[in-house]
RNA sequence: GGCGGGUUGGCGGAGAGGUUACGCAGCGGAUUGCAAAUCCGUGUAGACCGGUUCGAUUCCGGUACCCGCCUCCA
């Protein structure tokens, strides 16, 4: 059995991973709020935890890992979008417009994440399907004295949970000193956070013991992880930005509702993504979605390889140069593994991944396999990382049969060898290069392959 | 202000208390009609200042700088 070591954000140490139940390893990762296309930053945790999912499936068996990633479809941004559509004259009730918006966004999300080679999680629960469970958990928290109702709101009583702040390394008193918390008259303590809030008629709402309302953001993950993975599970993941307050609040809710359990044993946080050295933001003008990149012709597999080139715990910089290098690497590897039956993943690659998802180290091992000419091992090992899969390699293929061009060039070359006039050969070669075709001539013959920027249209008239 | 992370060779980016990371680029050579691809060889880096040690880029402390979160833009 491969020993997996993971950096546990709860203990701040790298620990040997021991599942609660090796027959059912359970992972929960915070998913997207489905109000718009996923931007590139949203994709990082998807790729990181997909790699973890693949590793766990490899080690414990594909049928022995349960991976849950939620869709947050209760959110004021979604409401705002739907409301705007309604005011613009869209037909249907607000609820219908909201459902339409979330359905549409989930479809986009799936398309985009599929393109990155991410496996679909075992379960992708939608918050709206678990409001009953959320209400039950909130009621439990109230009954246990960890929450209180005021003015149609229900708030979590932060002072009732001594461990509050441990995950994110903060103390309640320090945070209040920072004074960047919303002070509301109905709060007992400024740090208390909302479990339930009232909805007026313009907002979606559910009936509850506290009136018609909707859940606060944090409770959904506590309720859905409980429903799908149980009160204790193995790994909880998400972006480091979620560590506080989201994950801290999840811990508080879940541990107070189920003090007998341990909630998540291991916490994993991926660091943030940057673009050309800067934070991606709309104001800097460097904000873009996964779909934008795909639309520009950057293959999902290239995005994936770039992501995996940096350890998940470090900030990752997306640059055009990296994308170019990743594309060149993948073209080389794909040419090598074409038509090859994968063998078993290399032990060195598995070992690297098992060492707290050292994907950069694993990629170095892929290079070693390529250098050693082990195409079968390369294909299998890359497959473990979601790379070089048959179903995502279309981008590297020419789409047209280049064999006639190779034959033509070979004929010209053979003639030139006799006449010593290489001008016609060079002319054709230049034209092929201009079309993005890689030309290799050797004693053995002529090879032509699609290269970066390949454009079939530019091949017109070359035959 | 509070909390957390980072600083590695031209660029990207890892591991390890003491032997080559790796990739890209570069340089030299082989090969080639010329190239490309390939093969061989090549670089000796670790912000700064101290400490621990036989020995630190790797451990500890401090300084500087950078970044993120604390503002439901991951």
Helix, strand, or coil (residue A198) = strand
**What is the CA A248 to chain-centroid distance, rounded?**
21
Q: Is residue A308 part of a domain?
A: no
Which residue in this structure is represented by tokens 């393109």?
A115
Q: What is the pLDDT of residue A446?
A: 87
The answer to whether A116 CB sits below 7 Å from nucleic acid chain B is no
pTM: 0.94
Q: Is residue A228 part of a domain?
A: yes
Q: CA–C1' span, A362 to B17, in Å?
A: 24
Specify whether A148 is located in the same domain as A236.
yes
Specify whether A241 is located in the same domain as A377.
no
d(CA A330, CA A333): 5
User: If chain A, 463 residues long, is cut into consecutive pieces of 10 residues, what is the mean pLDDT of each piece?
Assistant: 89 89 96 91 94 96 97 89 85 87 94 95 95 96 94 91 86 66 73 90 90 93 96 93 90 94 92 83 82 92 93 88 90 90 93 92 92 91 94 84 89 88 89 87 84 82 79
Query: Which H helix or E strand runs over A363?
Result: helix A359-371
Is A256 within any annotated ligand binding site? no
Specify whether A344 is located in the same domain as A233.
no
Q: What is the pLDDT of residue A460?
A: 82
Q: Is residue A292 part of a domain?
A: no
Specify whether A207 is located in the same domain as A169.
yes
Specify whether A161 is located in the same domain as A88.
yes
Q: Is residue A136 part of a domain?
A: yes
* Positive/negative CA dihedral, A374, A376, A379, A385: negative
Domain that holds residue A419: 403-459
User: What CATH number should be reported for the domain holding residue A340?
Assistant: 1.20.120
Is A282 within any annotated ligand binding site? yes
Specify whether A55 is located in the same domain as A126.
yes
d(CA A281, CA A273): 11
d(CA A415, CA A358): 53
Q: Is residue A49 part of a domain?
A: yes
Pairing of the two strands A232-239 and A263-270 = parallel
Q: At which of A369, A396, A423 does a domain end?
A: A396
Is A311 within any annotated ligand binding site? no
Domain count, chain A: 3
The answer to whether A367 CB sits below 7 Å from nucleic acid chain B is yes
- Asked whether the bond before A6 is cis by omega within 30 degrees of 0, the reply is no
d(CA A201, CA A48): 40
Specify whether A108 is located in the same domain as A243.
yes
Q: At which of A396, A421, A451 does a domain end?
A: A396
**What length does chain A have?**
463
Residue A218 contacts by C-beta under 8 Å, 6 or more apart in sequence? Answer: A193, A195, A245, A246, A249, A250, A253
d(CA A50, CA A29): 10
Q: What is the pLDDT of residue A277?
A: 77
**What is the CA A151 to chain-centroid distance, rounded?**
39
Q: CA–C1' span, A403 to B48, in Å?
A: 60
């Amino acid at each position: 059995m491969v020993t997996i070591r993971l950096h546990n954000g709860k203990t701040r140490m790298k620990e040997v991973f021991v599942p609660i139940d090796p027959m059912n390893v359970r992972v929960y990762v915070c998913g997207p709020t489905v109000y718009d296309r996923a931007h590139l930053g949203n994709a990082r945790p998807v790729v990181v935890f997909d790699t973890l999912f693949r590793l766990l499936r490899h080690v414990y068996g594909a049928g022995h890992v349960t991976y849950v990633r939620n869709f947050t479809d209760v959110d004021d941004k979604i409401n705002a979008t739907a409301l705007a559509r309604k005011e613009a004259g869209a037909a249907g009730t607000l609820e219908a417009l909201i459902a339409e918006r979330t359905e549409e966004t989930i479809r986009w999300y799936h398309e985009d994440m599929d393109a990155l080679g991410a496996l679909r999680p075992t379960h992708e629960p939608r918050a709206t399907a678990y409001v009953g469970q959320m209400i039950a958990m909130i009621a439990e928290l109230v009954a246990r004295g960890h929450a209180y109702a005021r003015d149609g709101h229900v708030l979590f009583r932060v002072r009732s949970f001594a461990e509050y702040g441990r995950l994110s390394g903060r103390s309640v008193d320090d945070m209040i000193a920072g004074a960047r918390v919303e002070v509301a008259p109905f709060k007992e303590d400024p740090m208390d956070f909302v479990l339930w809030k009232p909805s007026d008629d313009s907002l979606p709402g559910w009936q509850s013991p506290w009136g018609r309302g909707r859940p606060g953001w944090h409770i959904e993950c506590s309720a859905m992880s409980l429903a799908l993975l149980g009160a204790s599970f193995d790994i909880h993941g998400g972006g480091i930005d979620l560590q506080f307050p989201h994950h801290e609040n999840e811990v508080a809710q879940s541990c107070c509702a189920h003090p007998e359990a341990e909630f998540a044993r291991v916490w994993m946080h991926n660091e943030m993504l940057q673009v050309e050295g800067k934070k991606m933001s709309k104001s800097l003008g460097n904000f873009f979605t996964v779909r934008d990149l795909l639309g520009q012709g950057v293959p999902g597999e290239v995005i994936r390889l770039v992501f995996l080139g940096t350890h998940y715990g470090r900030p990752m910089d997306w640059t055009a140069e990296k994308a170019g290098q990743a594309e060149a690497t993948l073209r080389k590897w794909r040419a090598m593994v074409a038509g090859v039956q994968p063998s078993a993943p290399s032990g060195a690659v598995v070992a690297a991944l098992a060492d707290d998802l050292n994907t950069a180290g694993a990629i170095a091992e892929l290079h070693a396999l390529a250098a050693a000419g082990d195409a079968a091992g390369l294909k299998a090992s890359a497959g473990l990382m979601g790379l070089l899969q048959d179903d995502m390699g279309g981008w590297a293929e020419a789409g047209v049969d280049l064999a006639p061009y190779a034959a033509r060039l070979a004929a010209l070359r053979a003639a030139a060898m006799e006449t010593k006039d290489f001008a016609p050969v060079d002319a054709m070669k230049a034209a092929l290069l201009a079309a993005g075709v890689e030309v290799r001539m050797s004693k053995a013959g002529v090879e032509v392959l699609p290269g970066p920027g390949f454009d079939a249209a530019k091949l017109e008239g070359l035959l």
